[in-house]
Structure 1
């Protein structure tokens, strides 16, 4: 199967009497109709060239029928070449190609296409027809069982075709590497990573697709450390990575937040062979990695290096999200204007980015205009994520009642309120001390079985902030009765190539004595500059014991991470901290003062955004 087949161009059309294609008024529907039943490569080429001239070759129906026409005429190489040139191919495209190869006995090629589909960046999932077309190509019973298991996982096994094919027999006992890779990819997609790794380790010879399939499984299912280790092992084995390998490794680094590994991968791309280049896909992965680990400047540099001709809407979306997460809202909105000026059409992801940017800076009017423009100007139906951004924006800006009205109005739309949106609204009630509405919302969620740990914790926080410890106890009792546990706060700090984690009050680190001594030093420096601990934020009934409340505040996980960073890195070194929850106001204030006293730049990422503390101020402007 050739992957370098030359597809016809408009100039290659040869018009003959009775056989030429009159393309002057050719429409997509007309081209698709002419291709039905076409089994001649010459006729398919003529129709293809005419479709290109008429500008309808990218139409999904035309592209699909062209692919089938080439396959029917025996030119599987052209069919596959067309498949790979089709923007955003669907599972139907791959299914057709798999069937064309499988039915002709080209089993390895069929399973290779299945692997390619499962590893597709478009997140394609097979249908019952896909698995039915793939099963005859299996060269071992184990591969067939894997496909059957995948069908069960996707609830496809009840369909007659998949169920019948699942019972096939007569397969050879020694599967080829392509068959094993197909099975490995199935296991990885299903999250059965130990089974996938067992197959991977059992292969005496591993090709690039096999390495990528295993790395993809690890990155998609929250095991980035294993993915990165596998990438390094692949390099040592002598297998040259391609852009898929690099993108997967960058995704793992973004999840881990490891600065040194990210810079090394960037250097690898710059110094790599022609197999990996700084194109839109690799560049977007680099932008994503850099801004997620706190280096917005590096993300902007990569974006600029891509150049206007290379940047696609995905790259712009990544850059807009980076600006938004770091609180550079005006830059995010400016980027939106620039991509439109360059003729690019925004997607629903674009609007999530710009609405988030508005939310992080309180740009209410701009947010309203953007939400309205989605449908009016761009024909994009707002989803629950877009409404969620708007609810968050209104809530942070103090317009809690308006935010509540927006959520109520959604009950008549297709975008129903989700738990994230309700949590955002509850958080706004707490921030702006609207206890009555907060309790009303929480009661509704509990009564309708929609409450999660965040619901109970936020309601508990609302009562605790008001000193109503009786109600705090009642809420916590309800939480225990529901079997729901609060997610513990955890902060991680990067030191060299190591990431060290802390929880509140943590004394498990070997250098605990030094950490707590530094913590006392930081506390003293903060007091000397007028800091008064925010004891009202302590959500425990400590009988008004201010000393106990102050001590509870002092040992929050981000403060421990800061202290460890200060004793573990040379003076002047930036400290990077990541926390799984939102920082409290007291920790935010202490981190600001610490940046001034120590002369350190402190980059702190909470659940929602980045804070850059420099010389006693924060890029969020105390609005978060």
Structure 2
């Protein structure tokens, strides 16, 4: 059993410092006074003194004092003490069982909590509603289903807090239909049940359904806001997450560490550097602090937003770095083409004694790709399994294809992808097609495209890349043939998307989009820019970016 001592405030002082006088004082107190003393105990030492007194004065079997002592040991994190007391309790009733079951649930010992429930039934002690609500908290879905049947058998399934816990268990286990049935049957939707249902929808990608529930809530705590913001960030809707974060601040709800982790993730996804800096400042000035997880998220955000120097400064500030923090910095260096720095950091973390993970090797292989280190890349790729026992994933094959493709070793990349041990991936083939375009290898590009079509792996990107290969080689007949094939197959090109942050507001642009209220003015400006480019050359790309930013700001 895990044992953790938690010190919050100093324990209340006993009347005298020595054990004898302490016992004498306790002896003069009635049981209800001793019960209050147990409730106020804040340290293991103080509880042990009271426990010793109860034994000396034959009060250890007093039901109320014994119960309170067990509960206090559990609340201080000393589950082994609590369980030892419980096992010595003669004829424990439902309250004793419920308390010890709850203690195990709090410590995520769900299997043992379930065994205690079975033991309770075997002793002909029948559960109450609190027993079910205690054991169902954070309970995995399979035992929760069994407990659902038990709750129906004993007539407690209609109790609001039991039904709320059941809905939460189904929600965590991914059974959205069962969770929703229980939720809809509740005559009163509590904050806890609403949060459980929103969490169920948002972690399973049903963001719109989660938002409907969220918007209908009369009361929202920080947990509800966090679930929605994180749901947006985790399912490719970072802009919506940032908008909701601003609404949260306007609603005067104070963010916590979970909030800022979700917001930093959203900032990193769309390159919202200024918003990320503001969040960083908020963390520093509002008591959240740079914990290990927050520091790692800041490294990731700054790296993705292009401020590698800020990422490095945060990395150096973290004193208790774990492998995740090291990975973030290695990947950050590799992302920006600082290959030698990434490889040096990898060497440092291995020398210190950190065991690299699959994420580490994504950074290392990307670093090799940027620097054209083909032989080193192969060495790292093979060392994953041979030295560290890590099976390469599709991302690692992608890094190798990128490395080989940049170096012009297209046949080697083709053989690697065709013979890999994992499921075929269209993105991987797309990377290889991109390399064929870069090196003008039409024959291999056609071969790959035919293979993808035959294996039902082709998507719009496959056709577009093949068309681009033909166009780069001046083969306009091939371009026309591919476009005809796309039309006949009903394949449509997905519109390109880009975003720009101006004055802490992110503006998103889709190719061919007409929804913006100033789309006419925007396209007129783009046509004007196209004219400048034709007249003066590509050096006006920077000017184009500045003008688009100005348009976005005006909008």
For the 8 Å contact 2:202–2:228, the answer to whether it is kept is: yes
Q: Paired residue for 1:478? A: 485
Q: Secondary structure at the match of 2:385?
A: helix
**CA separation in 1, counterparts of 2:273 and 2:130?**
48
Give the CA deviation at 1:175.
Answer: 3.2
Q: How does 1:159-178 map to 2 (within 5 A)?
A: 173-178=187-192
Does residue 113 of structure 1 match 2:165?
no
Q: Mapping of 1:328-343 within 5 angstroms?
A: 328-343=338-353
Name the CA shift for 1:319/1:514 in 2 (closer, same or farther; >3 Å). Answer: same
Structure 1 residues 378-418: Cα deviation after superposition (integer angstroms, max 9, x where no partner): 111112221221122111110111111212332xx2x2331
Which of the pair has more CA radius of gyration?
2
Aligned to 1:385: 395
| 1:182, distance to aligned residue in structure 2 (A) | 1.0
In structure 2, the CA distance between the partners of 1:170 and 1:513, relative to structure 1 (3 Å rule), is closer
Q: Which residue of 2 aligns with 1:194?
A: 208
Q: SS of the residue aligned with 1:365? A: helix
| SS in structure 1 at match of 2:130 | coil
Pick closer, same or farther for the CA change 1:511–1:188 going to 2, 3 Å.
closer
Counterparts of 1:127-526 in structure 2, within 5 Å, are: 127-130=141-144, 133=147, 139=160, 154=174, 173-273=187-287, 276-307=288-319, 310-410=320-420, 413=421, 415-502=422-509, 508=519, 510=521, 517=528, 526=537
Shift of 1:179: 1.8
Per-residue deviation, residues 494-527 of structure 1 (Å, max 9, x unmatched): 3323334556699936366566556655665548
Shift of 1:223: 2.7
Given that residues 146 and 187 in structure 1 are in contact (C-alpha distance below 8 angstroms), is that contact kept between their aligned partners in structure 2? no
Q: CA RMSD in A?
A: 4.2
The Cα of 1:42 is off from its aligned counterpart by: 4.2
Contact 1:227 1:249 in 2 (8 A): yes
CA distance in 1, matches of 2:385, 2:210: 44
Question: 1 CA distance for matches of 2:381 and 2:470?
Answer: 34
TM-score calculated relative to the size of structure 1: 0.63
Secondary structure, in 3 states, of the residue corresponding to 2:519?
A: coil
Aligned positions, number: 454
Higher share in helix: 2
Cα distance, 1:72–1:463 mapped onto 2, change above 3 Å: farther
Deviation at 1:185, TM superposition (A): 1.0
| Partner residue in 1 for 2:24 | none
Question: Which consecutive unaligned segments of at least 5 residues does structure 2 have?
Answer: 8-42, 49-78, 86-95, 118-126, 152-156
Offset of residue 79 of structure 1: 3.0
- Classify 1:98/1:234 alpha carbon distance in 2 versus 1 (closer, same or farther; 3 Å): farther
How many Å separate the matches in 2 of 1:184 and 1:505? 34
- Cα gap change, 1:512/1:472 in structure 2, threshold over 3 Å: closer, same or farther? closer
Distance in 1 separating the partners of 2:301 and 2:469: 36
